[in-house]
Amino acid sequence: MTQLSPESLNQIKRLDLRARMIVRGFLQGLHHSPFHGFSVQFSEHRRYHRGDDPKLIDWLVYAKTDKYYVKRFEAETNLTGYLVMDLSGSMGFKHTQPMTKFEYAICLAASLCYLMTMQQDPVGLITFADRVQANLPARSRRGHFADVLGHLSRMTPAGETDLGGCLTRVATMLRHTSLVMLFSDLLGDPAETLAGLARLRHGGHDVIVFHVLDQAEIDFPFVGAVELEDPETGERFQIDAGGYRDEYLSEVERFREAYREGCGKLQVDYVPLSTEMPFDKALTEYLINRQSRF
Amino acid sequence: MTFLNASLLLGLLAAAIPVVVHLMSRREPRRIVFPATRFVKQRLESSRSRLRIRRWWLLALRILALVALAIALARPTIASSLTPDWIAAGLLAVLGVALLATAGWAGFREQQRGLARVLAAAAALSLIAALLTAGASAARGPEIVPTEDAPAAIAIVLDNSIRTTRLATGDGATELRSDEPDGSRVIDQMREHARWVIGRYPSDSRIAILDRSPRPAAFSLDLAAANRQLDRSEPQALTRPLAERIEAAIRLVRSSDLSRKRVLVISDLTAASFPPSEWENANLAALLDQDPPLRLQILDVGSPPVGNLRLGLPEIADVTPARQTPTAISIRLDAEGFAEPEDAPLPAGSAPAPPTAIVEMRIHATGEAAAGLPVIRDSEIVLPPLLGADRTTVEVGPGATRVLLSVPPLDIGTHHGSIRILGGDELSIDDERFFTLQVRPATSVLVVASDRESAEWIGSALTAPRPPDDPLAEYRIEISEWLPTQREDYRVHDAILLIDPAVPSPATVADLRAYLDEGGKLISLLGPSLGGGTSGEVIPVAAPVGESTGSDDWLDGLVRRWRPAAPGSFFEIDRPNHPAVASLTDIAGGVPWSAFRISQYWQLRPSPPRDTVVIRYAGSDHPALVDRGGNHLLLTTPMPALVGPARGWNELFTASDAWPAFLLIRQMVQSLVDRDQGSHNLLITDLPRIRLDTPDSAEVDINAAIDSSQERSTVGQAARPDPTVGNPTDSELSLQMFPPRGAVAPLRGRDSWVTVGNVDWPGTYWIRGERSLTGFSVNLPPSQTELRRLDPARLDEWIGPERYDLSSDRESLRRTEGSDQPTRALYGWWLLVMSGAFAIEQVIANRFYRGSHSGRATPVRGAK
């Protein structure tokens, strides 16, 4: 487990190696494959209605019964995944941890990308800060994994964020129902963010929110008088950190609770993470949790 | 309030530390880039004010904790009497702090700002009231005497009376002699206790050791000096009143600027140390009550007597016995602490039964055996040897027993002796008493009487029990019908006794005058021969009133013959201490003078100050016996009045038992010729004034004795009297005194009298001049060695129960040490305040609970 901790993985520079390490370590820790849910299974036949794709007509049934039937499946043949990365300046924060929130998110995204690519599922990449910046369409070919990793490794977090707006825009961009994996610290207006998520859900997308926070953001380990500076807005103010800690912790808790509740209502998977957590543990906990719901 | 360690109040400066930290921590806050500022921003405003309040609280609590610690270490103490005031101040302070806390809490809420201000004002009022109450209590309270490790001013009064030579009661203590240096005397116990007390005080204390000697009260330089002083405090025979010494101790202690003051009296609490006459008039209570009040500590080291025999003063029948005449000495023997015989059988360990005592009388040898003695030989005083003279065995009763001893016939000279009880008891100092007898050469007395019978009668009265012509008699009596015709013939007589004299011629008066001026003594027993056959007739020769023949006339002031109404008057002693009647007044039960009627006498108008009326006639102010100038005694009625015209004047010798008149005439002559020459048997409280034997009367040739002893004496020079004033005929004499204790002391005498100042121990004091050897005996008053215990109720009466503590051992003494001023230490309370302030500070600062916060902040773990 220790070799999959952010500290140890940070020594490996190549992102594909990191992803492989994470996934292998994670697969070794599993007893059952978690991927059955993504496989293609025949479900039923139903009568063809106008507007159905004629490609789906089962001609064999037509030959036997002279009626148009279409095949229905358990899932779509291929689960299209989109890694949606928050590139705002706040993601570049780290306090005492070896990785910034963004680096942690990249590792995690690369791992998931590797997993899906191994499964022949197409994976796309969308990055955003105050607006949607890069858009790598979903492909399932082998070389695409390298493209995604190349993109990820070139990115640096900067600028402000408009999480709600960007999510709405992503929702409009995705034409097929997809698995949207959002990596963000969600430091924006929760109402807008939840509205964006609702918009995605409304488009039929399956959404997983990886809420990445630095351990310092969770613990607020500062003491004495400190001057805090917001990396996105450059705003500064002085506080007595020691005396403020209780307030802060309760605020953070309330903030995460708001997301947990909002996501629960939208049937969005909410995964709170801190940058000190080992990757395999983060992945395993989440995936086991998800599998239990299918 | 008083701080016992006031110097530690400097610790209050530590209160500046939180302020400094507060000011320093305000500078240069650390800048941190932090993305999650939105959580901070949301409550920034409300939190800022709360933070400010909390920071002020933290600052106040930190200051309070340090101040409380500093105050607690300074050990504040208040008088118990002011406890309610301080409680009120404390409650007001707590109320103020509580109101302040509530105000701070209300201040967090916008809508309660008004309430917060009201509460803050109330808190301020409460705190000010607390400060005022505390200030008033501190100003009003008495000065607190610090305890234990603070330096103290202590005066220890040792009641080192002679009774402290007594053996301390303990195992087999009564078998030991007190003069053995075995440390078991009461005085040693007292010293031990005093040392223990001194050792319990810090070395910068001021300590004074007072005892009952007249040494002035002063603080010792240091503890070692105090211990040395203790060693020097030996039992004193001549003591100052204990109450006076305690008063001196209190005054001394009060003069010290140290706030902790103690007066400790170590006493054996015998009744003799606390005579009511001294203690009823002592103003100890007023002294102790002065501000700040002191409390006397009395340590009782005594115990009831367990068996002590005490000799009284020797009562000598005649201190100047005639040559070769035995004398009787009677002495009282008291038993103290023995069980009553009827109490038997006694339980074990109780008082022993009264023993049989052997009383022995010894007399220092004179003559050849004592030639040249006393002398200093080999640095030691060699006294003439003591020879046993009489011894008797007495069954000691529970009360007083009288012992009669007989002094053997003695030669002329001064004889010293002692009476002692053989065998020891618990107090040995009263087992021996001393006496001095003087056997003087016969005194020549000329008795002039018109009838020889009366003269012989008086003569035999004087020389009794020997006949008048006995050479061993005290007096050499010469009887004559006439006064000598030649003035020189007067001088051979030491005294002249005129019985019923006739009116003298002027030449005779002048001769008598001259005789008296040369030191002669005259006794006149006036009678009918002076003339005036009928009562009321003025005598022709003696001066009538206003026509005196001379103020120094020996019959000056005679008025008339006087016949008191039947059945006549009688003597009434006017001056009982006059030597002519002193022994008569000492007689137990008094003299029945009323049985001896006086039916006729000469009225005399005395002219003071020359005349001293010794005896008066009862029922009038007419003098009967007048001492005229110290060398002339005038009795205005005749003696013996047995025959002739004088018969019928009085019944002094005609009554059936004429012993008072017999004694009176003897005493008159004896006092006048001064055979006693001042008493040589003294109490220790007396100031001895001793007449030295004139060289011609002393039969012991001192010069020869010195010459013979010089060859044997290694320190002969020291034993020889001061040669610078060697001539004994000079009015100034140089003498040596050999006291019973201590070194030989030089003495100076004048006109054959010597006054001795330094008599401080009972015993025989030998005084030796070049030609004379005399001395005197000094005894303790028997009351001084009474071991009867004092009833502690008397102390309550004299001092007041609230002004002293009586302890009998060290433990109870230690307990009473702190009780002189009821105080209450606030050390614990201030520590409590400090702990409370520290605990609240910790809670507010969230020091202890950081760990649990971080645990709660990991949501994934919590999701397990």
Q: Confidence class of residue B130 from pLDDT cuts 50, 70 and 90?
A: very high
pLDDT in tens, A211-220: 999 988 888 8
User: Hey, how many other C-beta atoms are within 10 angstroms of the C-beta on B286?
Assistant: 9
Smallest Cα–Cα separation from A104: which of A85, A130, A131, A125?
A85
Collect all residues of chain B within an 8 Å Cβ-Cβ radius of residue A274: 858, 860
Mutate to test the interface with B, among A215, A223, A227, A290 (most CBs of B within 10 A): A227
The per-residue pLDDT for range B10-42, each reduced to its tens digit, is 888 888 888 888 777 665 677 888 888 878 777
Contact B199, B224 (CB under 8 A): no
Mean of the pLDDT values across residues B789-801?
84
* Residues β-bridged to residue B479: B447
Closest CA to B459 of B486, B511, B496, B500: B496
pLDDT at residue A221 in the model: 86
Mean pLDDT of B60-76: 87
Confidence of residue A31 (pLDDT cuts 50, 70, 90): very low
Who wins on pLDDT, B570 or B179?
B570
Whole-angstrom distance, CA of residue B374 vs CA of residue B382: 5
- Percent of chain A beyond pLDDT 70? 81
Mean pLDDT of chain A: 80
Domain A2-35+78-291 classification at class level: alpha beta
Percent of chain B surpassing pLDDT 90? 3
Per-residue pLDDT band at B693 (split at 50, 70, 90): low
Q: Which residue has the higher pLDDT, B228 or B708?
A: B228
pLDDT band for position B855 (cuts 50, 70, 90): very low
pLDDT at B847: 56
AA letter at B391: R
Residues in Cβ contact with A188 at an 8 Å cutoff, skipping those fewer than 6 apart: A161, A162, A163, A164
Q: Return the amino acid letter for B246.
A: I
Overall average pLDDT of the A93-114 stretch: 87
pLDDT, tens digit, 9 for 90 and up, residues B475-528: 888 888 888 887 778 888 888 888 888 887 788 888 888 888 887 888 888 888
Cα B647 → chain centroid: 55
Identify the CA nearest to A195 among candidates A289, A258, A274, A272: A258
Q: How far is B833 from chain A (nearest CA, A)?
A: 24
Nearest to B33 among A221, A229, A237 (CB): A229
B128-132, B282-286, B353-357, range with greatest mean pLDDT: B128-132
pLDDT-wise least confident of B372-381, B552-561, B773-782? B552-561
Q: What is the pLDDT of residue B538?
A: 46
pLDDT of A178 > 50? The answer is yes
3-state SS class at B478: strand
Interface test with B, best of A240, A257, A274 (most B CBs within 10 A): A240
Q: State residue B378's pLDDT score.
A: 81
pLDDT in the model for residue B143: 62
B369 or B182, which is more confident: B369
In this prediction, residue B427 carries a pLDDT of 80
Q: If you average pLDDT over each of A265-274, B102-111, B755-764, which comes out highest?
A: A265-274
Retrieve residue B729's tokens: 């005929």
Pick the closest to residue B568 from B540, B596, B590 (CA basis). B596
When computed from its CA atoms, the radius of gyration of chain B, rounded to whole angstroms, is 44
Per CB-CB distance under 8 Å, the chain A contacts of B44 are 237, 239
Those residues whose C-beta lies under 8 Å from the C-beta of residue B479, and which sit 6 or more positions away, are B446, B447, B449, B452, B455, B456, B459
- What residues does B167 pair with on adjacent strands? B185
Note whether B26 contacts A: Cβ–Cβ < 8 A. yes
pLDDT for the residue numbered B129: 93
B95 — pLDDT class (breaks 50, 70, 90): very high
B694 at A interface, C-beta within 8 A: no
The pLDDT confidence band at residue A237, using thresholds 50, 70 and 90, is: confident
The pairs formed by B92-101 with CB atoms below 8 angstroms and a separation of 24 or more are B92/B126, B92/B127, B92/B129, B92/B130, B92/B133, B93/B126, B93/B127, B93/B130, B95/B126, B95/B130, B96/B123, B96/B124, B96/B125, B96/B126, B96/B127, B96/B129, B96/B130, B97/B123, B97/B127, B98/B123, B99/B123, B99/B126, B100/B127, B101/B57
Closest chain A C-alpha to B821 CA, distance in angstroms: 50
Residues 808-847 in B contacting A (C-alpha not used; CB under 8 Å): 845-846
CB neighbours of B305 closer than 8 A, spacing ≥ 6?
A: B336, B337, B426, B427, B787, B788
Task: Assess whether the previous peptide bond of B609 is cis (omega < 30° from 0).
Answer: yes
Mean pLDDT of B132-154: 74
Q: What is the pLDDT of residue B125?
A: 94
pLDDT for B222 equals 84
> Does A76 score more than 50 pLDDT?
no
Which of B26, B33, B38 is the closest to A231 by Cβ?
B33
Residue indicated by tokens 């940070």: A10
For residue A182, the model assigns a pLDDT of: 92
Q: Inform me whether the pLDDT recorded for B817 exceeds 90.
A: no
What is the per-residue pLDDT for A259? 92
B318 vs A24, more confident: B318
A264 at interface of B, judged by CB pairs closer than 8 A: no
Average pLDDT over residues B118-143: 86
Q: Does residue A219 belong to the interface with chain B, where contact is any CB pair within 8 Å?
A: yes
Q: Are B339 and B350 in contact (CB under 8 A)?
A: yes
| Domain chopping of chain A, boundaries | 2-35+78-291, 41-73
Kindly state whether B40 is in contact with chain A, defined as any CB-CB distance less than 8 angstroms.
yes
